[in-house]
Amino acid sequence: MRRARLQPRVLIIIENETVPADRRVWDECRALVAADYGVSVIGPRAPGEPAYEELEGVRLYRYPAPRESPSALGFIYEFAYSWLRAAALAVKVLARDGFDVIQACNPPDTYFALAAPFKLIGKQFVFDQHDLSPELYISRFGRNDGLLLAGLRALERATYLVADHVISTNQWYRDIALMRGRKRPESVTIVRNGPDLQRMRRRPPRPELKNGKQLLCCFLGVIEPHDGVDLAVRAAHYLIHQLGRRDCHFAFLGDGDALPGVRRLAHDLGLDDWVTFTGWAQDDMIFDYLSTADVGLQPDPKDPRAEISTVVKTMEYMAFELPVVAFDLKETKASAAGAAVYVPQHDAVPYAEAIATLLDDPQQRAEMGRVGRRRVEELLAWDHQKIAYVQVYDRLLKRPGQRDPAMSMGGTP
């Protein structure tokens, strides 16, 4: 506790991803450490990870991840289990490290109830809103009514109410915090999902990753039912078996609940020679693929959640100078601008045709790649975002800082 009094400390809680695998949270941790904050993190444990370790000055406390289930009851169990595990570890962290602020990263929107008792003893609560839980539920389960959805909306309202400050990933999310959450403008800061350009830059390509083909299309990210990967697989089928292309390979980097299903779909569509599923990928594999690929795939569907969510993989494609094929989602267009081709109709055939057009035009691909990298360097990179992020804590804890106050509110390019 002595160290906690001498150095301001932040406890970060995350449920839906491991750390340091979650790039946003890990970048946040490193930014705080660089600004002389102490940082502890509570989250699930991936296979092979220890229950506790210290990396780059960050203390990581992990619990066994819950068994995932596609059902609504499994959804509730996962959240309840994780909450109880996190609550027990939070008491341990308070005794061992101490903390001044709890930052909860959603989903789920349940950690306000964990933070509330600590607020009674002077701790503060920051809500780092990664996703819109009600909209995520609608997207994942296809229901826009019912008690569970009403409960998620109530949890979101409660989280906004308890939060001393809200961190939003873009202007759309900030507007929701102001309207649905009734937060004051000065209590909501935009910190975008910006790539870390110190790590994310092109390296020599590895042609063998193209599996004997001339061209490579790459998907990077979590493979869940709401991520549209099945549509990308169907687009690959149309390109190969309908348009007769034999010059392109498709690589899907990532894991998730929907991976077994999309693997089966690819096999049933006769794509075994044209598609690679890597499963969970570490940085070296990711950087090799993105340095070799010709096109980045963002097949997220046109639903209310995806329309206004910043897609991390798109920012990473842009960092590696990859042109992107996406549907015409509002936030994707605001982020990527001329670095992407936007398909108006959510259908595999026009999506495949947009991919084919890019594959046939190397000059357009190169120009779009340059546009994307420039946008990241000038506007979107984590170096720009971390100023606003650290300043949230400087203001909350009344630390003297020398960071640009104009960055404190963030903004949408």
pLDDT at site 146: 82
Q: What is the pLDDT of residues 67-82, one digit of tens each?
A: 766 666 777 788 899 9
Q: Please work out, in degrees rounded to the nearest 5, the angle formed at the alpha carbon of residue 117 by the alpha carbons of 102 and 85.
A: 65
- Nearest by Cα to 371 from 413, 325, 336, 343: 336
CA distance 132 to 206: 38
Intervals of the chain under pLDDT 50: 1-4, 402-412
The predicted model scores a pTM of 0.88
Q: Taking the CB of residue 362, how many other CB atoms lie within 10 A of it?
A: 11
pLDDT at site 225: 86
CA distance 314 to 68: 26
Pairing of strands 324-327, 295-298: parallel
In SS3 terms, 375-401 reads as HHHHHHCHHHHHHHHHHHHHHHCCCCC
| Tokens read off for 286 | 């990711």
- Nearest by Cα to 63 from 84, 39, 37: 84
Q: 2-194+382-407: which CATH architecture? A: 3-Layer(aba) Sandwich (3.40)
pLDDT at site 411: 45
| Tokens read off for 300 | 């997220």
pLDDT at site 69: 64
Provide the CATH topology of domain 207-379. Answer: Rossmann fold (3.40.50)
Q: What is the pLDDT of residues 215-226, one digit of tens each?
A: 999 999 989 888
Looking up tokens 């947009």 gives 354
CA atoms lying within 13 Å on the CB side of residue 234:
12
| Tokens read off for 223 | 């493979």
Contacts of 156 (CB under 8 A, 6+ apart): 109, 132, 133, 134, 180, 181
| Interior/surface letters 77-114, b for 16+ CB within 10 angstroms, e for the rest | ebbebbbebbeebbeebbeebbbbbbbbbbbbbbbbeb
Sequence ranges of the chain with CATH classification 3.40.50.2000:
2-194+382-407, 207-379
